[in-house]
């Protein structure tokens, strides 16, 4: 018995529903306070928009049914063209929703600015006074992630860990093309760009292992740019740091030179020590000895122009004073 088009559509809709039901909706049920606030923002924005969408859908169906061709009792008034009350309702509702969405977006944009240090651990728990964030320097490579922990002097490839309820400050850059650093359970995605540094402040509130990946296509090995983020207790995090120091090898400039070469589906690698200021040199594109760092190039250019201006000012002053000398 052949399947009709309607039956095919129903089967596709039901199948899609089951597939979506099996998805891990981590974005709407995260384990970090920043991601939780972002989920709340999505919910409230959706509710505000549905205030218009749902009545429009209902009224569309109602009008189609009431004014169908077979309903001879429906009022037919071709001369009707205006109703002040109706237009007031039609325009006032969307205007009120736009104002509410604008206010919500304005406040949330500033509160959830990724460059802004967080002021709370969770909804009812502010950041304790004097608490320093855990600094993690992130480098997007082809096609792997390199994480530096300057506080502990270690580095890790494709694995990230942090204590729960401690603020984290991510400093993010890239070796070549643009990528996107994203841990859905922790916070929103932040782009990683070569020669530039972006930042993200966040906190993880529950112990567990979470997925992290690049959310921006960057070439052949993009699908392998995945890592695990571990939320740990302070004690377990200290053990993890000791494990990296015990099992890792030193990350010198030469070792980094080999690591920088494009590779796919890299396993986790530990580095017990890191060459001095390696992240800063990656950011400023001067890892190779003898290469001038970007920040030094800019300062050199400024000092050159400053010296040129001083010479110009001195020669101008000499010319201006010369006639007075002849008197």
- Residue 217, pLDDT > 70, answer yes
The CA–CA distances, whole Å, from 72 to 76, 174, 268 equal 9, 69, 74
Q: What is the mean pLDDT of residues 212-227?
A: 92
What pLDDT score does 39 carry? 93
- Residue 326, pLDDT > 50, answer no
Beta bridge partners of 13: none
- pLDDT tens, residue by residue, 233-255: 999 999 999 999 999 999 999 99
What pLDDT score does 158 carry? 97
Q: What is the mean pLDDT of residues 134-158?
A: 97
What pLDDT score does 317 carry? 43
- pLDDT tens, residue by residue, 59-105: 999 989 988 888 888 887 878 888 888 888 888 888 998 899 899 98
Dihedral of alpha carbons 46, 48, 51, 56, sign: negative
Is the separation of the CB atoms in 149 and 155 below 8 Å? yes
What pLDDT score does 185 carry? 96
Q: What is the mean pLDDT of residues 135-159?
A: 97
What pLDDT score does 137 carry? 98
Residues 6+ apart with CB under 8 A from 65: 71
Residue with tokens 């070792």: 255
Q: Which domains does the chain have, with CATH numbers?
A: 26-68+84-112 (1.10.287), 122-283 (2.60.40.420)
Output 327 or 193, whichever has higher pLDDT: 193
Question: Peptide bond preceding 143: is omega within 30 degrees of 0, i.e. cis?
Answer: yes
What pLDDT score does 260 carry? 95
Own/partner contacts of 249-256, CB < 8 Å, gap of 24 or more, are: 250/274, 250/275, 251/155, 251/275, 251/278, 253/278, 253/287, 253/288, 253/289, 256/282, 256/287
Is the separation of the CB atoms in 245 and 272 below 8 Å? yes
Residues 6+ apart with CB under 8 A from 189: 180, 181, 182, 215, 216
* Residues 309, 269: Cα–Cα separation, whole Å: 51
Q: What's the predicted TM-score (pTM) here? A: 0.78
Joined together, the tokens standing for residue 28 give 């709407």
- What is the band of 322 on the pLDDT scale with cuts at 50, 70, 90? very low
- Residue 327, pLDDT > 70, answer no
What pLDDT score does 320 carry? 43
Q: What is the mean pLDDT of residues 291-313?
A: 63
Q: What is the mean pLDDT of residues 195-220?
A: 95
What pLDDT score does 290 carry? 85
Output 90 or 222, whichever has higher pLDDT: 222
Is the separation of the CB atoms in 188 and 182 below 8 Å? yes
């Amino acid at each position: 018995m052949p399947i009709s088009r309607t039956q095919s559509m129903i089967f596709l809709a039901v199948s899609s529903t089951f597939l979506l039901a099996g998805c891990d909706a981590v974005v709407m049920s995260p384990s970090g306070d920043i991601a939780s606030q972002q989920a709340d923002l999505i919910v409230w924005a959706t509710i505000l928009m549905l205030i218009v969408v749902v009545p429009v859908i209902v009224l569309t169906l109602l009008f189609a049914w009431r004014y169908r061709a077979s309903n001879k009792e429906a009022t037919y008034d071709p001369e009707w063209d205006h109703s002040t009350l109706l237009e007031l309702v039609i325009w006032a509702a969307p205007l009120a929703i736009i104002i509410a969405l604008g206010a919500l977006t304005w406040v949330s944009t500033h509160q959830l600015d990724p460059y802004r240090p967080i002021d709370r651990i969770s909804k009812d728990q502010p950041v304790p006074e004097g608490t320093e964030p855990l600094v993690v320097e992130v480098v997007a490579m082809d096609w792997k992630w390199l994480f530096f922990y300057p506080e502990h002097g270690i580095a890790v490839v494709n694995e990230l860990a942090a204590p729960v309820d401690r603020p984290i400050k991510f400093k993010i850059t890239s070796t070549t093309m643009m990528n996107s650093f994203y841990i859905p359970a922790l916070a929103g995605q932040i782009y990683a760009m070569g020669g530039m540094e972006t930042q993200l402040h966040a906190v993880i509130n529950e112990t567990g292992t979470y997925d992290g990946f690049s959310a921006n296509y960057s070439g052949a090995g993009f699908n392998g740019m995945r890592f695990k983020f571990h939320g740990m207790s302070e004690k377990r995090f200290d053990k993890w740091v000791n494990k990296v120091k015990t099992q890792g090898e030193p990350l010198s400039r030469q070792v980094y030179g080999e690591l920088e070469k494009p590779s796919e589906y890299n396993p986790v690698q530990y580095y017990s020590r890191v060459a001095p200021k390696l992240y800063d040199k990656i950011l400023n594109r001067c890892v190779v000895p003898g290469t001038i760092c970007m920040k030094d190039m800019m300062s050199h250019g400024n000092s050159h122009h400053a010296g040129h201006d001083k010479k110009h000012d001195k020669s101008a002053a000499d010319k201006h004073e010369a006639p007075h000398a002849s008197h």
